Amino acid sequence: MSGGRRRTRPSPARSANARVQAGKINRRRHLMPKCGAHAKTTGLPCQQPAMGNGRCYFHGGATPKGDGRWHRPIWPKMDTPEGIARFYKKGAELTDRNKKREREAKQRSPTQVAAYERWRATHAPTTAAHRAALREARRQAAQAIDVLKASSASPARSVDASAREAEIIDLRAQIRFWDREIEIAENWNTGVFA
Ligand SMILES: [Zn+2]
């Protein structure tokens, strides 16, 4: 941490007001919803006051979620001197991080590079719409099997038994394929170097 800026003491009125507000929050604290995220420090649920999404700032507040927002820097507002300082600090930190990443990439062995490229080919970032389409394809294949099985129970629809059996086998293979695709789409951010 830099800590370069000299702190000025708040006025007595301001300190008193802060104490009143903190007291109000502390009296309600035990009634507030708690963050249930697994805390690495204790191994227990986090217990910090939760925000609207059910997680505290540390477990669900800082990282943007949603399609296209993942890993996009959120820049501090530059409307105060502190904001401008934070903006440039963040820029410097991101530059350092990228340089470190490049250095680490150069140090990888050919085997590690090959493993990484194999992983990357199947682990591109996916969108919610893409994952929903995969699940829908799987659902339709499963439904088709149910329809075929139901038709065997009804003598009116005399579908050839062996053709039906072949079709069910084919649909089951499709379901296995969709299951694998869904697994890949949902786990794209699990790294190989972890
Ligand atoms: Zn938490």
pLDDT in tens, 38-70: 888 888 888 888 888 788 888 876 566 666 666
- What per-residue confidence (pLDDT) applies to 191? 46
What average pLDDT score do residues 105-126 get?
82
Cα(35) to ligand 1 centroid in Å equals 5
**Widest pairwise Cα distance in the chain:** 89
Is the pLDDT at 6 greater than 80? The verdict is no
pLDDT in tens, 14-26: 999 999 999 998 8
Burial class from Cβ neighbours inside 10 Å (0-12, 13-18, 19+) for residue 70 reads exposed
Give residues whose Cβ lies within 5 Å of ion ligand 1: 35, 37, 46, 48, 56, 59
- Exposure string for 19-30, b = 16+ CB within 10 A, e = fewer: eeeeeeeeeeee
3-state secondary structure 121-174: HHCCCCCHHHHHHHHHHHHHHHHHHHHHHHHHHCCCCCCCHHHHHHHHHHHHHH
Distance CA(85)–CA(89), nearest Å, equals 6
Higher pLDDT pick, 18 / 29 = 18
Q: Euclidean distance between the first and final Cα of the chain, in Å?
A: 27
Cα(50) to ligand 1 centroid in Å equals 7
Cα(73) to ligand 1 centroid in Å equals 22
- What per-residue confidence (pLDDT) applies to 193? 46
| Token pair belonging to 155 | 């003598």
Distance CA(59)–CA(41), nearest Å, equals 13
Higher pLDDT pick, 4 / 115 = 115
- What per-residue confidence (pLDDT) applies to 126? 73
Is the pLDDT at 9 greater than 90? The verdict is no
Grade residue 1 by pLDDT with cuts at 50, 70 and 90.
Answer: very low
pLDDT in tens, 140-164: 999 999 998 887 766 655 567 888 8
Q: What is the model's pTM?
A: 0.38
Cα(160) to ligand 1 centroid in Å equals 58
Higher pLDDT pick, 64 / 193 = 64
Cα(65) to ligand 1 centroid in Å equals 16
Cα(123) to ligand 1 centroid in Å equals 28
pLDDT in tens, 131-145: 899 999 999 999 999
Cα(46) to ligand 1 centroid in Å equals 5
Cα(32) to ligand 1 centroid in Å equals 13
What average pLDDT score do residues 17-37 get?
88
| Token pair belonging to 152 | 């065997």
Grade residue 176 by pLDDT with cuts at 50, 70 and 90.
Answer: very high
Cα(51) to ligand 1 centroid in Å equals 9
